[in-house]
Structure 1
Amino acid sequence: MSVLALGLNHTTAPLDLRGRFAFSLEQIPQALHGLRGRLQRAGAPEAALLSTCNRTELYVADQPGDGRALLQPAIEWLAAHGGVAPGQLMDHTYVLEDRGAARHAFRVASGLDSMVLGEPQILGQMKQAVREADAAGTLGSTLHQLFQRSFSVAKEVRSSTEIGSHSISMAAASVRLAAQLFEDLADINVLFVGAGEMIELVATHFAARTPKTMAVANRTLERGEKLASRFGAQAIRLADLPQRLQEFDAVVSCTASSLPIIGLGAVERALKARKHRPMFMVDLAVPRDIEPEVARLSDVYLYTVDDLSQLVQSAGEKRQAAVQQAEAIIESGVQSFAHWLDQRATVPLIQALRAQADDWRAVEIARARKLLAKGEDVDAVLDALSRGLTQKMLHGALAELHASDASQREQVAQTVSRLFLRTTPRDPGRDER
């Protein structure tokens, strides 16, 4: 089998371009079917799609051959989704094959390729991507092995190294930035827009600082109420957000919306009503939830995921020893997966050999039964059956020996010797009998 990984992330593409290639969970099943339909024309039966705030990656697996044959249709499909030319997309993507693809997947799962070094969220997001591919029927045995080994490697990295012990998450970074702006976080009102895992993490970090009030705005009020109840917060309708925005000193947003939900005009009106008291805003969504023009307002402090990444890099410098340990674990996992992948390449041959042997056996058994039905001696029939099978098994090897020229004969002879003249372990019991 051949495995190919194609993607773009926070190191290869700017935020706005990444936003063009983001997939919500609801979009992934249909996207996978469309992707596989495109790739099947190139012969690829397996596909998985990972889409997070910081990356969009395709993993595909094909029958033995040139995995690069998958690249062009995959690029064209992804470029069409983002509404850009394939050439423009290629300027911001990375393409990895077989060992490289495995190494990348293992590093992603272990948090080594994250914007926040060692962050654990990506592992859950990868597991969700696998579930989506499995439900869509695009997860075959090769990608299943790749991802299960990714999870195993990530678990070993977590348990054997300190890669995540000093990790500063995006959520913690948001609180740190807010604390730099406001004298006391206990005196501010905080609004969370969205009700997903990231907002839950941010709300947990803010709740530890006991702000004056907290509120959750979500498109589905019931889900917003469920999250709000965990933190003693108020739930409000997303549709009411423009009228309520002025009430909040800090706004953290992370939804799956394909378009901004907090516009420049709404923020300008909120600032006017607040008499230009500053607002702290964090946009953790990709694509953006908050229009980028909001950052130009003098009384707004707006941070994106890319801004926050710079805040957490210093913590990464303290974990270089742990990174080296993690890389060693990952490399061991890559070697193991590559060995498995090489073995998979021989599966069709093994299946063909077994089928051929079964055909020979069936022919000889049918012949033996006819002879027995005619009253032939049992020992003679068994002898004929064994000779028939032996001749069939040796025919190909003997034909190759006879057909090979002088330059090939020694190599063919060595191969035949290894295949047919291996000594078998002696059975001590036979000597005793």
Structure 2
Amino acid sequence: MTVWTLGLNHTTAPLDLRGRFAFALDQIAPTLQSLRSSFPSSRHPQVEAAIISTCNRTEIYCASEHIALDHTFGWLAESGGVAPTLLRSHAYTLHDDEAARHVFRVASGLDSMVLGEAQILGQMKDAVRAAENVGALGTTLNQLFQRSFAVAKEVRTATEIGAHSISMAAAAVRLAGQLFEDLRKTRVLFVGAGEMIDLAVTHFAAKEPKSIAIANRTLERGEKLATRFGGEAMRLADLPARLAEFDIVVSCTASTLPIIGLGAVERALKARKHRPIFMVDLAVPRDIEPEVKALEDVYLYTVDDLAHVVQQGQANRQAAVAQAEVIIDAGVQSFMHWLGQRSTVPLIQQLNAQADEWRAAEMARARKLLAKGESVDAVLEAMSRGLTQKMMHGAMAELHSGDAASREQTAQTISRLFLRKER
């Protein structure tokens, strides 16, 4: 078996290109079915596959008897509606030990925009469950991901990789604090009700803003989050009419199209008499039209804009990174050893089947002899001799065939297999 990875992330591809390949969690199952069915069944009958898609990365993991990177490239390019050459210029490909090392680093938070962040681990587990539920996760990828989770746990336990980590939500609060002198006087609107928004609300609520509102497509889910922080919930459809009420807007939904347009923001600014609005778009694809950034009284930040903020303080964690890499190296070696052993599984199965066949034949012969009145000792003697002869026949035949050099090599192999001293 071989394992390969094809992906693009915040270091290799711009935000808008990543948005073309972003898959919401409920899209993973049909997308995996489409990917697996695209492989030629003659050469790739049972391709294992999983897709990890977050605001910072989209990665495809596959396992099969034969590597098929070109085919995977073509499928992904078509799914995103871009030319394969454009995708190749922004993507990376890895296989076997390099793929294992990469997924271990991702799970451990070493490949994240926020070094040491823990959110990626939960996102990976969600992706693995989605692949498992649709039957796309076989033995090889299951081992790869379970080992990545174990390595991530060891990294977080044995090192300080997550110490003083600045999250995207914390970075947004820090930037908002630079614009507004007192965040306690601000009204904050959160668009969406997922994990990222939950984290953002937690950080902003700690600053005790004047009011908090949650706008979500499903009102019930929005109310559930708003209740926890003493805020109000509103329907997403009411957002354009109420946008002017808020000083800070943080958005992160799974929408494939922008939900806050240029016109709505212009009308809000006019109603606010051009008092500034601080906006954070944490979604990929974008929730807020990029043209909004050009408006004079809007301070719009995307996930990529926040990168330089979250990088601060990473120098203090470089020693922990070195420790983490040692743990990851050991994990990679262990996985590759396991993967190498998997190649002998068919042979082991054939040997077991052959041994069972010999055993059944000798048992049938022994029962016939017993039925004829032969003594038990004689039957046991005949059965043991028959099994021994069947086991030794192939080895003896090989010793008497071929040239001198091949016979010598065969003799050494047979000696190792049959003449080992019991310890």
Under a length normalisation based on structure 2, what TM-score does the superposition of the two structures give?
0.97
State the alpha-carbon separation in 2 of the partners of residues 251 and 396 from structure 1: 76
1:24-423 equivalences under 5 Å are 24-39=24-39, 41=41, 42-63=44-65, 66-67=66-67, 70-423=68-421
Letter matched to residue 81 of structure 2: G
Aligned partner of residue 307 in structure 1, secondary structure: coil
State the alpha-carbon separation in 2 of the partners of residues 374 and 30 from structure 1: 64
Aligned partner of residue 403 in structure 1, secondary structure: coil
Equivalent pair of 1:250/1:279 in contact (CA under 8 Å): yes
Letter matched to residue 392 of structure 1: K
State the alpha-carbon separation in 1 of the partners of residues 47 and 378 from structure 2: 51
State the alpha-carbon separation in 2 of the partners of residues 40 and 146 from structure 1: 24
Letter matched to residue 379 of structure 2: V
Letter matched to residue 415 of structure 2: S
State the alpha-carbon separation in 2 of the partners of residues 382 and 261 from structure 1: 81
State the alpha-carbon separation in 2 of the partners of residues 157 and 75 from structure 1: 32
State the alpha-carbon separation in 2 of the partners of residues 402 and 25 from structure 1: 62
State the alpha-carbon separation in 1 of the partners of residues 100 and 374 from structure 2: 60
State the alpha-carbon separation in 2 of the partners of residues 420 and 150 from structure 1: 39
Letter matched to residue 132 of structure 2: D
Deviates more, 1:190-199 or 1:37-46: 37-46
Letter matched to residue 61 of structure 2: Y
State the alpha-carbon separation in 1 of the partners of residues 309 and 46 from structure 2: 41
Letter matched to residue 350 of structure 2: A
Aligned partner of residue 25 in structure 2, secondary structure: coil
Aligned partner of residue 4 in structure 1, secondary structure: strand
Equivalent pair of 1:404/1:412 in contact (CA under 8 Å): no
State the alpha-carbon separation in 2 of the partners of residues 418 and 59 from structure 1: 39
Q: C-alpha displacement at 1:376, in angstroms? A: 2.7
Q: Which sections of structure 1, spanning at least 5 residues, go unmatched?
A: 426-433
Equivalent pair of 1:186/1:209 in contact (CA under 8 Å): yes
Which of structure 1's runs of 4+ aligned residues deviate more than 6 A? none
Letter matched to residue 110 of structure 2: L
State the alpha-carbon separation in 1 of the partners of residues 179 and 251 from structure 2: 18
State the alpha-carbon separation in 1 of the partners of residues 145 and 338 from structure 2: 13
Give per-residue Cα distances to partners, 1:272-330, cap 9 Å, x unaligned: 11111111110000000000011111111111101111111122122110000011111
Aligned partner of residue 87 in structure 1, secondary structure: helix
RMSD over equivalenced CA pairs, Å:
1.2
Aligned partner of residue 311 in structure 2, secondary structure: helix
State the alpha-carbon separation in 1 of the partners of residues 201 and 410 from structure 2: 70
Equivalent pair of 1:253/1:283 in contact (CA under 8 Å): yes
Aligned partner of residue 212 in structure 2, secondary structure: strand
Aligned residues: 421
State the alpha-carbon separation in 2 of the partners of residues 363 and 194 from structure 1: 68
1:10-21 equivalences under 5 Å are 10-21=10-21
State the alpha-carbon separation in 1 of the partners of residues 402 and 93 from structure 2: 42
Q: C-alpha displacement at 1:40, in angstroms? A: 6.0
Give per-residue Cα distances to partners, 1:51-90, cap 9 Å, x unaligned: 1001111111113xx32xx212222221121011223212
Partner of 1:429: none
